Amino acid sequence: MRPTDFAKNLTAFLTGYLPGERGASPHTIASYRDTFRLFLAFAHAQKGIPADRLTLGQITKDLVVEFLQWLEHERRSSAATRNVRMAALHSFFRYLQYQSPEHLVEWQRILAIPVKRTEKPSIHYLSVEGIRLLLDTPNQSTRQGRRDLALLSLLYDSGARVQEIIDLTPSMVRLDPPYTVKLMGKGKKVRIVPLLEQQVKFLRIYMTEQKLVEPFANRYPLFSSARREKLTRVGVNYILTKYANQARTRNPALIPETLSCHGLRHSKAMHLLQAGVNLVYIRDILGHSSVQVTEIYARTDSQQKREAIERAYSDVAPSETPAWLTDDGLLSWLKSFNR
């Protein structure tokens, strides 16, 4: 049986266009692949169309809308998950506009399907005192503790995404002034982030001990397990959770119940903002696509300031009801004033 036009285009999209032209990460490609797995399962179970018979001509806006409703009602997907699936579909049909223009009207109808409004999650971040407590937790007298301190302090100081830390090699770190780390971000975009001397001290101790400063180790993973294997996202999160739990026993007010690696990234951004660093510089450090993405930290900081002002006002506001609110005669006069 010959492959269908849908099969050919989807294969080219996932294996050629995304990694080659878009520079998408393996994580993004895997997410998009899972979306189309679900789409094929839906087409087979709900429409009786097996994967090897689905063609581009059978895909319409109505079919895509039914698929999204199936995700929500049958699979109990949240609006946020539905939007992630929609983003994958939109990317594919934008690609098809140029690969299969004979169906252009239908592709544009699909691209017009809106994402669902979702409640924006609040940004959780640690205070400077919280970061200090967290980094004081690893036992520096042990080999593992020194590795974990170097990892956590670099994760915070660079504001890196967890995958960016995992992908680091010794050659991407500059241990001489000016201290920097080269991070490979989304779309394989490279950025250079300055590091503080105190953080580099922990990193230098760790790298020297592990012989990662030697020329032969330039392409080794910067952070690895006891078996010399590259750390995984789960592994890095496990390390952070372990020390967050230990720090929480010392001062629960400084460490929230849930703390992720992205929480350290948020913490760095908020601390830079509160120190007066321009949003443009914060954007460049975090590797955001535009300053509009970075503005979420400014809005969060404004909210914190407003809440502090409201708390201060409630402390000084008079507790007694003003006299004019209980004076019927005065109220009557005010209501009839200037009529």
265 catalytic residue (yes or no): yes
Q: What ranges in the chain are assigned the alpha helix state H?
A: 5-12, 26-47, 61-73, 79-99, 104-111, 128-135, 143-158, 162-166, 197-209, 233-250, 261-274, 279-286, 291-316, 323-326, 328-336
pLDDT tens, residue order, the chain (339 aa): 789 999 999 999 999 999 998 888 888 899 999 999 999 999 999 999 999 999 999 999 999 999 999 999 999 999 989 999 999 999 999 999 999 999 999 999 999 999 888 766 667 789 999 999 999 999 999 999 999 999 999 999 999 999 999 999 999 999 999 999 999 987 778 999 999 888 899 999 999 999 999 999 999 999 998 888 899 999 999 999 999 999 999 999 999 988 999 899 999 988 888 888 888 888 888 888 776 667 776 666 555 555 544 544 444 444 444 454 455 555 565 555 455
Active site residue 297: yes
Task: State yes or no: is 271 an active-site residue.
Answer: no
Q: Could you tell me if 150 and 286 lie in one domain?
A: yes
Question: Which one of the listed residues 147, 248, 265, 283 is annotated catalytic?
Answer: 265
Pair (107, 132) in one structural domain: no
Q: Are residue 106 and residue 156 in the same domain, yes or no?
A: no
Q: Is residue 262 flagged as an active site residue?
A: yes
117 belongs to a structural domain: no
Q: Tell me whether residue 177 is in a domain.
A: yes
Domain contains 19: yes
Number of other residues whose CB lies within 10 A of the CB of residue 34: 13
Q: Of residues 53, 124, 186, 233, which has the active-site annotation?
A: 186
Q: Please confirm, yes or no, whether 116 is among the known catalytic residues.
A: no
Report if residue 257 sits inside a domain.
yes
**One domain for residues 146 and 88:** no
Both 97 and 136 in one domain: the answer is no
Same domain, 95 and 183: no
- 189 included as an active-site residue: no
Q: Could you tell me the residue range of the domain that residue 215 belongs to? A: 128-305
CB 38 within 8 A of CB 88: no
Mark whether 29 and 161 lie in a shared domain. no
Evaluate whether residue 68 is within a structural domain.
yes
- Options 161, 248, 268, 283, the catalytic residue: 161
Residue 27 belongs to domain with CATH number: 1.10.150
Of 159, 165, 169, 221, the C-alpha closest to 196 is 159
From the candidates 32, 179, 206, 297, give the one annotated as an active-site residue: 297
CATH of the domain at 190: 1.10.443.10
Same domain for 163 and 226, yes or no, is yes
- Residue 103 vs residues 40, 96, 109, 110: alpha-carbon distances, Å: 20, 8, 10, 11
Q: How many domains, in total, are found in the chain?
A: 2
Q: Which residues pair with 183 in a beta bridge?
A: 191
Are residues 76 and 167 located together in one domain of the fold?
no
Q: Which of 48, 79, 111 is the last residue of a domain?
A: 111
